[in-house]
Amino acid sequence: MNETTRHTLSVLVENTAGVLSQVSRLFSRKGYNIESIVSGESGDPGVTRITIVLLGDELMISQIAAQCRKLLPVIAVKSLDESTSLQREMALIKVKTLDRNARDEVIQMANIFRANIIVSRETLTVAIFGDRDKTEALVRLLRDFGVLEIARTGTIAIERGRSTIYDDNKIKEEYNYGKNVL
C-alpha cells in the first residue's frame, strides 16, 4: 500500500505572465491539494522557481511531476527529498503580551529559537525562519500566551551538495519543440 506523505516539488519555469496560474491549475484539475506554493525569481531573470508542497504517495508525485514537465513554460521539475535538501519557511506570529512577565517569557522563547522580535505596546510579533518543525514547535509554545495571528510564507527548498534542479532539465529538443510549433 502506498503511504501518503509530504512531498516537495521544485519547478523552474519561464518568467511569463500567468505561469503560476497555469502550474497551479494543473494540480487542481488532477484533484491534488497544494499545502503550500511559493514563487520567486531564480538566478536567471527570465526564470522563476516555484516550490510546491503537497501530500501524496510516490506514484502520485511522479505522475504530477511528469504532467508538469509537459507544460510549455516548464524548464525543469525535481522532487526534493527532505533528507537531501534544505527546506525553510518564514513565519510571523503575533502574540498578546499584556504584562511584563508575558513579554519577557515570549522574548526568551524567541531567543531560544533564534527568532526576531517586533515590539508594539500590547503585542509582540515573533519572526522565525527555519524548517517546518521548528516553526510548529514555537507556535505550540506561544499558544499559551494567546496567538492573535500567524502569517507563513510556505516552504522554499533547494538540494544540498552539488546536485541541482538543472540535472533533471528537459532535453533541449524537447524544450524547444513546443515553441517552434506554435
| pLDDT per 10-residue tile (average), the chain, 182 residues | 84 93 91 92 90 91 92 92 92 93 94 95 94 95 95 93 74 49 50
The reported pLDDT for the residue numbered 44 is 87
The reported pLDDT for the residue numbered 168 is 59
The reported pLDDT for the residue numbered 162 is 85
Distance from the Cα of residue 180 to its chain's centroid: 33
Q: Which residue intervals of 30-99 are DSSP H helices? A: 58-70
The reported pLDDT for the residue numbered 169 is 60
